């Protein structure tokens, strides 16, 4: 069964690259440029893992992550935070995400992290 990824990033080019890359790896991929209600998005796509940009136009990724990790129905979903901010800045604002990837990122490194959190053989 295909694993489902939800990519939330306001940069369309990044969404397109990630979507193409992970679909070629046999994932079902959904993308959003913004999210006004993360629980609506979760219910619609039922992702196994979320790749979440830290800086979004409506609400920062750290707040979205906190909402998901504070909810008993979604706290188990692995979240990988993607950001152009330094890792030390993100660690100060930690809200439960499972991993951090800095932009620009290496697709193979990101894939390894995704597979780790999904317990998917490499």
pLDDT in tens, 7-21: 999 999 999 999 999
Tell me what pLDDT residue 88 has. Answer: 63
Tell me what pLDDT residue 119 has. Answer: 85
Distance CA 92, CA 106 (A): 23
Virtual CA dihedral for 2, 40, 102, 85, nearest 10 degrees? Answer: 180
Tell me what pLDDT residue 57 has. Answer: 85
Domains of the chain: 3-118 (3.40.50.2300)
Mark the ranges of the chain whose per-residue pLDDT is less than 70: 86-94, 120-122
Q: pTM score, two decimals?
A: 0.91
Write out pLDDT tens, residues 85-97: 766 666 666 678 8
Query: What DSSP designation does 25 have?
Result: T
Tell whether the torsion through CA atoms of 28, 8, 49 and 106 is positive or negative: positive
């Amino acid at each position: 069964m295909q694993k489902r990824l939800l990519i939330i990033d306001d940069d369309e080019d990044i969404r397109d690259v990630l979507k193409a890359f992970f679909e070629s790896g046999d994932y079902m991929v959904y993308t959003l440029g913004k999210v006004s209600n993360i629980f609506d998005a979760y219910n619609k796509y039922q992702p196994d893992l979320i790749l979440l940009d830290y800086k979004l136009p409506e609400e920062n990724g750290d707040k979205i992550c906190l909402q998901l990790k504070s909810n008993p129905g979604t706290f188990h979903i692995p979240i990988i935070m993607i950001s152009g901010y330094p890792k030390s800045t993100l660690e100060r604002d930690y809200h439960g995400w499972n991993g951090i990837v800095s932009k620009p990122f290496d697709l193979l490194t990101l894939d390894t992290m995704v597979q780790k959190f999904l317990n998917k053989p490499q």
